[in-house]
Amino acid sequence: MYDLINKNVCKNGDFTQHEIDYFNSILQNKTVAKKTLLLQDGEVCNFEAYILKGCIRKFYIDEHGHEVILQFAVEDWWVSDIASFHEKKPSKLFIETLEDCELLLLTPETKEKLLVEIPKFERIFRLLVQRNLSSMQNRLIGTIAKTAQEKYLEFIKLYPTISQRVAQHHIASYLGMTAEFLSKTRTKLAKQ
Amino acid sequence: MYDLINKNVCKNGDFTQHEIDYFNSILQNKTVAKKTLLLQDGEVCNFEAYILKGCIRKFYIDEHGHEVILQFAVEDWWVSDIASFHEKKPSKLFIETLEDCELLLLTPETKEKLLVEIPKFERIFRLLVQRNLSSMQNRLIGTIAKTAQEKYLEFIKLYPTISQRVAQHHIASYLGMTAEFLSKTRTKLAKQ
DNA sequence: ATTATACATTGAACTAGAACAAGAAAAAAT
DNA sequence: ATTTTTTCTTGTTCTAGTTCAATGTATAAT
């Protein structure tokens, strides 16, 4: 059960078996049904969730009621609103399961304890955030510089499994276009 | 000279005078003239620069030759291509001074040394990246969900000094619109 | 001071994508 | 199996923003 997360986390540092056991011991197991909100606008995010099984989306709702999907997270990914989690301030985001999920959770308390007990984990989480930042940057560039068609092609290339797993209108929202326009883009692509 | 950076870095952790001195001792001072490229597409980024004085832009050039500005950095900010810096892989970005600059630099070697000597710095840099990620996320949301006018108003509200300091067409590039359209948006705003 | 260069404005024509509406198809619930 | 709900497609109209081109205005260089 912990094999995957241990590999995910430990590939970036040397840990003793004892340290790994300790890490595993503080993780909380949680099963969540499809279409459950794990976090809502206004709440403080009290978890960092590692996904053992399932699929989750994180999104923002703007003034006009339009959803902007910030992340799809599947097996072996982490999802959280780090800003809210770390500064204990109300989130502006929603986190919702798209499928039945099995999660391993860190809370502010367990994470802090982990970092105090085994400071080496600071590095692990820094690297995690760093990789996140870098992919967010790439996404920003794409959002600004690419056409709808280019964005879609890049998406299915980058996330072939996710693009099969989630609804098309969610992909459209992730890519910053309307569901209608994505549909038109796809039929146009199919004709080429 | 080190007052500002020490405050910037140390507000997030407790450090002894000795630790601070060590930190300061590994920083390299550098003066750079206006319009100098500190990093070019294809090079490996070998610095994290803290800005004592001046203004810098970080940007990407897409297939069509269009610039996308990812960051304006001024006094008390850090600038680097972290992905390239940490993984020692060629950058896709450019970093250019917009004014004469005074910088304090970390190199991969000095930073690594710092982290080994004083592991507490891991946390400092994690928090730095985390804040970065969070502002990048807000920017992505704005880029997708806001109109040109809203983007511009948010920008001058968020960065009043920067908006006075850099060329308008650079702001346009940062906001993901053409210089012409920003100009039109501004005249329209002025008439209201 | 004068010329050259970079920057900002304005207008006209164009286009990628949005909005709205309505129907088709698929999936889920009874 | 059939109804309900959700998702996807297609067409039409509309608009925010682009492109291109021209002119004006600062700033910098000699």
What are A125-156's pLDDT values in tens digits? Answer: 999 999 999 999 999 999 999 999 999 999 99
Same domain, B155 and B104: no
Helix (H) or strand (E) holding B43: none
Distance from CA of B68 to the nearest CA of A (A): 7
Surface of B (60-79) touching A: CB under 8 A: 60, 62, 64, 66, 68, 70
Question: Has residue A80 been placed in a domain?
Answer: yes
Decide if pLDDT at B134 tops 90: yes
CATH of the domain at B41: 2.60.120.10
The answer to whether residue B140 sits within a structural domain is: no
Contact A46, A85 (CB under 8 A): yes
Question: B97 and B188: one domain?
Answer: no
Over the stretch B101-114, which tens digit does the pLDDT of each residue have? Answer: 999 999 999 999 99
Work out how many domains chain B is built from and give that number: 2
Q: Tell me, rounded to whole angstroms, the distance of Cα A95 from its chain centroid.
A: 9
Asked if A79 contacts A58 with a C-beta cutoff of 8 angstroms, the reply is yes
Q: State yes or no: pLDDT of A119 exceeds 90.
A: yes
Nearest nt to the CA of A98 via C1' is: D6
Whether residues B25 and B109 share a domain: the answer is: yes
Least confident of A21-25, B11-15, B35-39, B48-52: B11-15
Whether nucleic acid strand D comes within 7 Å of the CB of B41, the answer is no
Stretch B123-146: mean pLDDT, rounded? 96
Q: pTM (2 decimals)?
A: 0.95
Residues B95 and B165 in one domain: no
Average pLDDT over residues A13-17: 92
Give the pLDDT score at A10. Answer: 86
Does residue B131 belong to any structural domain of this protein? yes
- Co-location of B33 and B91 in the same domain: yes
- A78 belongs to a structural domain: yes
Q: Are residues B35 and B92 in the same domain?
A: yes
Per-residue pLDDT of B14-49, as tens digits, reads: 999 999 999 999 999 999 999 999 999 999 999 999
| Domain co-membership, B114 together with B176 | no
Q: Is residue B141 part of a domain?
A: no
Q: B102 lies in a domain?
A: yes
Residues 6+ apart with CB under 8 A from A159: A72
Q: Are A125 and B126 in contact (CB under 8 A)?
A: yes
- Name chain B contacts of A136, Cβ cutoff 8 Å: 133, 136-137, 140
Q: Which of B135, B159, B174 is the last residue of a domain?
A: B135
Q: Are residues B20 and B40 in the same domain?
A: yes
**Residues A25-34: what's their mean pLDDT?**
96
Chain D bases closer than 7 angstroms to a protein Cβ? 6-11, 16-21
Q: Do B119 and B32 fall within a single domain? A: yes
Are B120 and B164 found together in one domain?
Answer: no
The answer to whether residues B74 and B156 belong to one domain is no
Q: Which of the four pLDDT bands, split at 50, 70 and 90, describes residue B1?
A: confident
Residue B179 CB in 7 A reach of strand C: yes
Residue B175 belongs to some domain of the structure: yes
Range of the domain at A19: 3-120
**What is the rounded (10 degree) CA torsion for A105, A107, A110, A115?**
100
Give me Rg for the CA atoms of chain A: 18
B161 confidence band (pLDDT: 50, 70, 90): very high
Q: Is residue B81 part of a domain?
A: yes
Distance B192 CA to C11 C1' (A): 20
Q: Do B151 and B184 fall into the same domain?
A: yes
* Burial group, residue B23, by CB count within 10 angstroms (0-12, 13-18, 19+): buried
Cβ-nearest to A122 among B126, B133, B146:
B126
Compute the distance between CA of residue B121 and CA of residue B23 in angstroms, rounded to an integer.
9
Domain boundary among B86, B101, B135: B135
pLDDT of A65 reads 85
What confidence tier does B65 reach under pLDDT thresholds 50, 70, 90?
Answer: confident
